[in-house]
């Protein structure tokens, strides 16, 4: 499985844009990149998924360079409620389904 590496923690002030970068040097051709948010004692919540270039939805943007060896999750104007752990996952095609391995994640602390 493609291993991912993220910063263990980040701090940001409210209202700022936060960019969390993840490296996945051995990503395979069929692998997608997915980001999840997890609050304590809850299951991970899907944020965004992409394969290449840029993807944007109502909560975040995902930037993926041409070599796909890294990706950056961008959260615009964070609020205190965005304090959570963010996981970058790379799915591996395991014969009809995508299998993922969770890394350490990035603990984002939003400061008032």
Partner 1 sequence: GAVVSQHPSRVICKSGTSVKIECRSLDFQATTMFWYRQFPKKSLMLMATSNEGSKATYEQGVEKDKFLINHASLTLSTLTVTSAHPEDSSFYICSATPLGQETQYFGPGTRLLVL
Task: Find the binder of partner 1 among 12, 24, 44, 78 (CB under 8 A).
Answer: 44
Q: By rule CB under 8 A, what string of x and - marks binding of each residue 82-101 to partner 1?
A: -----x---x--x-xxxxxx
How is the chain split among helix, strand and coil, in percent rounded to 5?
5, 50, 50
Is 35 a residue that touches partner 1 (CB under 8 A)? no
Task: Find the binder of partner 1 among 20, 50, 73, 105 (CB under 8 A).
Answer: 105
Is 102 a residue that touches partner 1 (CB under 8 A)? yes
H or E segment and range at residue 9: strand 9-13
- Please say which residue, 58 or 112, places its beta carbon nearer to partner 1: 58
Decide if 78 contacts 87 (C-beta within 8 A).
Answer: no
| Contact residues for 67 (Cβ-Cβ < 8 A; gap 6+) | none
Is 36 a residue that touches partner 1 (CB under 8 A)? yes
Is 56 a residue that touches partner 1 (CB under 8 A)? no
Task: Find the binder of partner 1 among 8, 14, 19, 46 (CB under 8 A).
Answer: 46
Token pair in block for residue 61: 């943007």
Is 7 a residue that touches partner 1 (CB under 8 A)? no
Please give the angle made by the CA atoms of 66, 35 and 78, to the nearest 5 degrees. 105
């Amino acid at each position: 499985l493609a291993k991912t590496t993220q910063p263990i923690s980040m701090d940001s002030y409210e209202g700022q844009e936060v960019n969390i970068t993840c490296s996945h040097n051995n990503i395979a051709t069929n692998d997608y990149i997915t980001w999840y948010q997890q609050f304590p004692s809850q299951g991970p919540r899907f944020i965004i998924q992409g394969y290449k270039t840029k993807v944007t939805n109502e909560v975040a943007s995902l930037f993926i360079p041409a070599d796909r060896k890294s990706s950056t999750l961008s959260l615009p104007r964070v609020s205190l409620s965005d304090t959570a752990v963010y996981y970058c996952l790379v799915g591996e095609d395991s014969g009809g389904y995508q299998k993922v391995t969770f890394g350490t994640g990035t603990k984002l602390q939003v400061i008032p």
